[in-house]
Amino acid sequence: MTFGATQRIYLARAVVDMRKSFDALSSMVTNQLNKDPFAGDVFVFVGKQRNRVKILVWEVSGFWVCAKRLEKGAFAVPRPLLEKESKSVLPLSPADVHLLLEGIDVHAATYKRHYHRPDGNGGAGVDGKGAFS
- Tell me how far the alpha carbon of residue 131 is from its chain's centroid: 33
Which value, in Å, is the radius of gyration of the alpha carbons in the chain? 19
18-63 per-position pLDDT tens digit: 999 999 999 999 999 999 999 999 999 999 898 999 999 999 999 9
Beta bridge partners of 46: 53
- pTM for this model (two decimals): 0.74
- DSSP label at residue 111: P
84-127 per-position pLDDT tens digit: 556 688 898 888 888 888 877 766 655 567 777 776 655 544 44
* E strand segments, the chain: 9-12, 42-46, 52-59, 62-69, 89-92
- SS3 state of residue 128: coil
- Domain borders along the chain are 9-102
